Amino acid sequence: MKGLTKTRKTLFHNIKTIFSGRTLDEDTLEELEEILIMSDMGVDVVEKILEELKDKYHNKITDQEDPLLILRDIMVSHLSTSPLILDTSNAPLVVLLVGVNGSGKTTTAAKLAKIYMNYGKDVVLAAADTFRAAAIEQLKEWGNRLNATVIAHQKGSDPAAVVFDAISHAKAKSKDVIIIDTAGRLHTKSNLMDELKKIKRVVQREIEGAPQEILLVLDGTTGQNGIIQAKAFKEAIDITGVAITKLDGTAKGGIAFAINHELNIPIKLVGLGEKEDDLQIFDPVKYCNALLG
Ligand code: GDP
C-alpha cells in the first residue's frame, strides 16, 4: 500500500525505534500512545490498544515474539470490514455513493467502476449529482477514459430521473453494475437527504433487493469534522460501508480506526491517489502493515 507512505514516514517509523531492544516500560508506552494519537486513531481506540498490548506483553510475550507483530495484530482486531459485494448473479448490482462535496465521490465512482471492470463486470455510471455541472462533466470524462457508459441529464434535472434512466439502460443492455454518483451540498442538508432517500426509493422500486451497497465516501484528511458530517448521512440513509479517500495525502492515516470506531460501519474501500487504479478494497492486515512498515 504505497499510498500510506506519508503516515508511515512521519509517525509510525518511530514505533520501530521504540520497540527495538527496549522493554515496554511506562516511558515507551507513553511514546507509543503519543504516536498513535497523533495519527488520528482516536483516544478511545488508542487506550484500548495500549491496554491489550500491556496485558499481552506482561503476560505472554516471549523472546521469540516480535512486539511489532503483536501490536499489528491488536490493531487489526480493532478494525472491521466486510467484503465489497461483487456478486452480480441477481444483476444489476446497484452501488450508491453518498458524501459531502469534495470528499471524492465522483473520483471514487470512476475508480470503483474500474475495480468492477477488472472483475469482468459491465458497468454503468449514473451522474446523479445534477447540482454541479462540473460533476456531470467529470464523470463523463471518466466514462470516456474507462470506456464505461455514463447516463447523464442536464444540470438541475431530477437526480432520481437520471437513476431511473440508468436502471432502464442497465436492464435493456444486461449490464452487471450501476454505480450512482450523488450530490453532496451540505448547506441545504435536509433537501440533500430527501434527494438521496428518493433515489434509494426509485432503486428499490425498480430492482428487488437493491441498492445492495450504499457507500459513504469520506475524506480521510478532514479528521473529526468529517466524522461528524458522516453521522448525518448515517442517520438519514442505511450505509453499508465506508470508502475513505485521500489517505495518501495525510500523515494522519490512523483515521480509519476512528471512523470505524465512531461510526460503527465497516470500511470497504480506501482511496490512495487520484488515478484510476488508486482505489483498493480495504484489507485491515495490509493497512496495518503499511502503517507500521
Ligand atoms: P466529489 O465532490 O465528492 O465528487 O469529489 P471529487 O471526486 O470531485 O474529488 C475531489 C478532489 O479530490 C479531486 O481533485 C480528486 O482528484 C481528489 N481525490 C479523490 N480521491 C482521492 C484520493 O484517494 N487521493 C487523492 N490524493 N486525491 C483524491
What's the pLDDT at 19?
Answer: 75
Q: Is residue 248 in contact with ligand 1, taking CB distance under 6 Å?
A: yes
d(CA 94, CA 97): 10
Cis peptide leading into residue 211 (ω within 30°): yes
d(CA 137, CA 145): 12
Ligand 1 atom nearest residue 249's Cα: 26
What's the pLDDT at 225?
Answer: 85
What's the pLDDT at 58?
Answer: 67
Q: Whose CA is nearest to atom 19 of ligand 1?
A: 104
What's the pLDDT at 144?
Answer: 98
Distance 230 CA to ligand 1 centre (A): 17
Ligand 1 atom nearest residue 278's Cα: 23
Question: Cα angle vertex 46, ends 44, 49, to 5°?
Answer: 110
What's the pLDDT at 63?
Answer: 60
In tens digits, what is the pLDDT along the chain, a chain of 293 residues?
767 888 888 777 778 777 776 567 788 889 899 999 999 999 999 999 999 998 887 655 556 677 888 899 999 999 999 999 999 998 899 999 999 999 999 999 999 999 999 999 999 999 999 999 999 999 999 999 999 999 999 999 999 999 999 999 999 999 999 999 999 988 766 699 999 999 999 999 999 999 999 999 999 999 888 899 899 999 999 999 999 999 998 888 899 999 999 999 999 999 999 999 999 999 999 999 888 87
Global pTM reads: 0.94
Q: Is residue 107 in contact with ligand 1, taking CB distance under 6 Å?
A: yes
DSSP strands (E only) in the chain:
93-98, 123-128, 149-151, 177-182, 213-219, 241-245, 267-271, 279-281
Beta bridge partners of 267: 242
What's the pLDDT at 284?
Answer: 96
C-alpha closest to that of 243 among 101, 143, 109: 109
Give the sheet arrangement for strand 267-271, strand by strand.
Answer: 149-151, 123-128, 177-182, 93-98, 213-219, 241-245, 267-271, 279-281
Write the ipTM: 0.99
In order of 36, 44, 119, 185, the CA distances from 116 in angstroms are 34, 36, 5, 27
Distance 99 CA to ligand 1 centre (A): 12
Q: Whose CA is nearest to atom 13 of ligand 1?
A: 104
What's the pLDDT at 59?
Answer: 56
What's the pLDDT at 252?
Answer: 86
